[in-house]
Structure 1
Amino acid sequence: TDIAEVIGAAIALNLLFHIPLIPSVFITVLDVLVLLLLTKIGFRKIEAIVACLILVILFVFAYQVALSNPNWGGVFMGLLPSAKAIAQHPEIGGITPLTGTLGIIGAT
């Protein structure tokens, strides 16, 4: 599963920032090595830092959703798979919806 995580993160970097896959893999490996070096300060402290960062992301996301005032019916309908999600067209920035979805799932 470690290889899948590295490849998924590399694909995510490629999709988000258009970084080629090989440099994306090296960035991901460097990220892991930095995290391993940080374990010397204590694993619980790293967990606390990550938890705080996740909470910040959650609050900012919730705030942005509240500001956008979405159509909640459309939001929940978007959670259901449709034929458009699997189709090759439309492409958004050269990426099909299925490719984008797989990259996001691979990165998590």
Structure 2
Amino acid sequence: MKIKALVISSTLAICSFVTHAGSWSGTTYVKEIYAHSTNNVDGTIYFKFASMKNPYNCEQSDLIALKKSNKVFSELYSLILAAFATDQKVNYYVNGCDQHGYPELIHANVSM
């Protein structure tokens, strides 16, 4: 019984090291916005923030990707554009890397 408990606890400990979780940036300013499309097929908006997060150690860490395929793409893009235009800080959340190796933005918020 002790061996079984040891095996289970060891497995859980090892698995916790390989599990990744997304990460919030903390409030930061938008510094640059870059729109990109490959052969007019897929679309991505790239952002450069004053504070960049790359919790997944993606190959590219100089920009954060907002994929057009995100269900709330328009809302996220509008929110970040408004923050950029009014010099407000954004708190963004990245989860994983996109196919080009950039951290992928999936949530964002702006507060006064």
TM range (shorter): under 0.3
Higher helix share: 1
Higher relative contact order (CA 8 A, sep 6+): 1
- What TM-score does the superposition give when structure 2 sets the normalisation length? 0.24
More strand by share: 2
